[in-house]
Amino acid sequence: MKITTWNVNGFRAILKKGFKESITLLNPDILCLQEIKAKKEQLSDEDITIPGYQFVWNSAERPGYSGVAMYYKKNDVSIQYGLGSDEFDTEGRVIRMDLPEFILFNIYFPNGQRGQERVDYKLRFYKLLLDICDELHKSDRKVVITGDFNTAHSEIDLANPKENSVVSGFLPQERAWIDYYLQHGFVDAFRALYPDKVQYSWWTYRVNARARGIGWRLDYYLTSEKLMQNVKDVIIHDDVMGSDHCPVSMIIG
C-alpha cells in the first residue's frame, strides 16, 4: 500500500500546476491533502474528480482557509471528520480513515506563527490528538498520523535551526510534543529509516529558498511501533513542484 501526503497550499491553485499529472505519476492508493482552501461547491466535478479514486473533503467553515481531503482506491474503509471538539473542528483539519490494518489520520496541524494564542491553540490540538491515539493504542489498534505537522522536530530537520529557535515551527514547546508522541508508541518513520538523511518537504517562497536548499521537514508519518515492521520506505518527492510543500509517500508491505 502506498500513502502519499501533500500540503497543496490551495487546491484551485495547484490544479493549474500539473497536480493531476503528478498524482498519476505517484499513483498512491491513498492520497492525503492539506490546506485545500476550498469547499467542494466551489469546484466543478471535473476539477475535483481524479479517475480511479473516491474522495472525501473536510473544509473549514472560514472560506479560503485550511481544510483537508482524501482520495482513495480502497472500498473497505470508514471515514470520520474532526476530533470531536468544537474548538478545532470548525477549521477542517482532520479526516480519520479506519482501514482493516490500521487507522489513518490525515491532519493539517495548526500554524502558530500568528502569535502566542495560536501557539497555545496548536499545543492543545497536539494534546487532544495524542489522548485519542493513546486510547486507540490501549485498544490494540495500529495508527498512522500523516500530514503537515507545522513543526520541525530536530535540528537535522531544517536548514537554519539556530536562526529559527524562537520561530513557531521550531519552538522548544512545539518540538517537545513530537517527543511526547514518540514516547507514546509512535515512530517517525522517515527518521527511523534514514537517521542521518537531510531532506526537506517545505520551502518558503521567499529568497529562492527551494533552489538554494533552505527548507524544513514538516510533513511526517508518525506510525505505531507495532506497524513499523511493515513500513518498507518513506520517500520525500522533492522534485515534484506545484506547492511550497512537496509530496511525501510511505510504502507499507
Contacts of 230 (CB under 8 A, 6+ apart): 252, 253
Answer yes or no: 148 catalytic: yes
Q: Please report where in the chains the cell 498512522 appears, as a residue.
A: 144
Q: Which of 101, 125, 110, 94 is nearest to 32 (CA)?
A: 94
Which of 148, 157, 188, 238 does the annotation list as catalytic? 148
Element (H, E) at 70: strand 68-72
Judging by DSSP bridges, how do beta strands 231-236 and 219-224 pair with one another? unpaired
Query: Closest Cα partner for 11 from 219, 242, 240, 236?
Result: 242
Active centre residues (catalytic):
148
